[in-house]
Every structure is written in structure tokens, then in C-alpha cells.
Amino acid sequence: MKAAQISRYSKILAAQINTVDVPSITPTQVLIKIKAAGVDPHLVLAITGKVKLFDHYDFPLTLGNDLSGVVVEVGTDVLDFKVGDHVYTMPPLDKMGAFAEYVAVDAAIVAKKPVHLSFSEAAAVPLSALTVVQALAILDVQQEGKLFISGGTGGFGQIAVPYAKSQGLFVTVSGSRSARALAERLGADKFIDYTTQDYTEILADYDYVIDTRGASGVFKQMKILKSGGKLLSLNAGPNARFASQNAHWSTGKRILFTLLGAPFDGLAKSQRKSYDFIYVQPNGQQLAAFAKYLEEANITPVIDSVYPFDQANAAIAKIATGHSQGKVILKVDDEE
């Protein structure tokens, strides 16, 4: 089968299309023929080695974090799926594997794809869906709370905004001027044009922030939180609480995470606020529940662009710009 792989960390955002064996499955796994895969910013971090603290990849590494496809083989211990099922999933971030013709994954992290979505649309969902569900759980959000999502019209925001609205939150997002219409379409209550507006001068007394920008964004976004407010970052870095909640890390790594997060924790404590970091985990039950939510609300993900499989590098380059409006998709199989 064909797979888009990297053989080492590199500053050059480029994968090679290699021919590899179709993976075999264990009794608890299913083999999925992949139809489409999502392209996300985590890939840039993975290729350049910026997530080495968390993930020790085996090379060559097949890229890709979320996918949709058809089950073609079922392990002997699997009861919830059968050959022919249309499914979607996010493989573990330390394994990946969506940029390939086939993938073998544990059945516990797989769910039936939303029935009203095409394979390309379904591939836009898993990583973002799991991220927002797990993020809102960490933040312990309450109805009528005010939430700010930086850059909330990209691949994550186009899933997160309507879901956060469904949880009773007042949602504000930032983006370029051209993203205003999409923000309104997604249901955002307020839009900040970062090219002409400084949100720290406009927003105040927010209950929650989901940061998608990184360390520099954390220091700015902390300003708009009220006392007791909570900020959760997707990529600024781990901290003491994250380290303590992940007992599988070595003692040395937990100490390192605590030290790395000290500036964020110190800032939050000085302002009587809190800082958290998330590294999203695969979860089939959460994906099944999210599929039901999408079906009942009749929500269709926003697709920024679709690339053929042999243009995987162009798709990665597009997401690296940080200016996509909706999800970037890699079409693995042309048959829907």
C-alpha cells in the first residue's frame, strides 16, 4: 500500500510517498481502508520534532491524525464492528497513520461515522471533536459562561464553536477579516478581527479561554479572564497539573513538565486564574456521541480545501500557513 511517511525529524515540511505492507491486525483491532484523512497543525510539530517530549516515534513514521474509511477486516475479539462499516477515528498521536491506504487500530477508539457526512467531511471531525470535548471537560464549563477561542475559524474552531454553543456557552473567536462570515456561519456570538483589533482592549471578564496559538498567546489571553477564570492551551506546553495527572510519565519527565510550565502557572496564580494543557487522547465512545450530536443538529464540517493523496506535502504546507478557514483534507481514495 501507499503511505506518506517521514524518516526523521526535519525543518523541511515534506513527506515521501512510500510503498509499505498492509498492516496485520490483532484480535482487538480492525483494519480500515482509508477514504480521507484530516490535515492538522499537529503534523507540523511532529515533522519538526517539537513534540518529542511527548511522542517517541518509530521511523519511518506514517503521518496523519484523523481519518474516515471502511472496515475491511475485524479482529476475533471485536464485537461492535463488521466488514463494510463506515467509520471514523483518531489513531493515538504517538502512532498516527492516517496518510495511508490502510490502517490497523484498536476497535475501542473507532466509531461509526455520522451518516449524513461524506467520507471527506467525516475525516474533518475526529481530532477536533475529541479536543473540544476533552477541553471543555477539563475546563469544567458551566452554561452561560463566556469562552474565547483564538483563531476559532480553522480546522479546530469550525468544530469547536458550534459544539461549545450547544453546551450553552457565549463564544467569541478571533480571525482575519475574511473569516468573519465563517465565524457568523458557525454561530459565534462575537468576532474579533485581529488585523485591526486588539482583543485585550475589547474583551474582559471571560470565564474560559482555549488557546490555539502557543506561549505568546497565553500571556495575552490571560488578561481577558476574570478572577477565577481558566485558560487551556492546545500547544503552549505542559505544566505541573498536566504532569501530575499523567502517572505513566517518568519522574524526570514530570519534573521537566513542571519546570516548563512554571511561567504559565506562576502567571495564572498571580492573577488568581488557572492554566491547563491538553494532549488529546483517542476515544471511540466520545466519537460515537459526537456523531450523534452532529446528526441530530444536522451539522456539516466546513472544508477549506481537498488535496489528492500525491499532494500530501501541499496539504501540509497549506495547514502550516495558519490561515485555513475550515479543515484541510487529504483524499486517499477517490471512491465515496
CB 170 within 8 A of CB 147: yes
Q: Give the type of residue at 116.
A: H
Q: Tell me the pLDDT tens digit for each residue of 4-25.
A: 999 999 999 999 999 999 999 9
What share of the chain in percent tops pLDDT 70?
99
Is residue 246 very low, low, confident or very high in pLDDT (cuts 50, 70, 90)?
confident
Is residue 265 very low, low, confident or very high in pLDDT (cuts 50, 70, 90)?
very high
Bond before 126 cis per omega within 30 degrees: no
Q: Is the pLDDT of residue 291 over 80?
A: yes
Q: Tell me the pLDDT tens digit for each residue of 91-140.
A: 999 999 999 999 999 999 999 999 999 999 999 999 999 999 999 999 99
Q: Whole-prediction pTM value?
A: 0.96
- Give SS3 for 216: helix
CA–CA distances in Å: residue 268 to residues 132, 207, 273:
22, 13, 5
Average pLDDT over residues 139-144: 97
Q: Is the pLDDT of residue 248 over 80?
A: no
- The least confident of 228-237, 300-309, 315-324 is 315-324
Higher pLDDT, 334 or 303: 303
Q: Tell me the pLDDT tens digit for each residue of 212-233.
A: 988 889 999 999 999 999 999 9
Cα distance between residue 117 and residue 151, in whole Å: 25
Q: How far is CA 272 from the centre of its chain?
A: 28
Q: How far is CA 247 from the centre of its chain?
A: 23
- DSSP string spanning 245-267? T-TTS-HHHHHHHHHHTHHHHHH
Q: Tell me the pLDDT tens digit for each residue of 275-284.
A: 999 999 999 9
CB 111 within 8 A of CB 88: yes
Tell me which H or E stretch contains 244: helix 240-244
Residues pairing with 4 in the sheet: 17
Provide, for the chain, the percentages of residues in helix, strand and coil under a 3-state DSSP scheme, each rounded to the nearest 5.
35, 25, 40
Q: Is the pLDDT of residue 154 over 90?
A: no
pLDDT at position 235 is 87
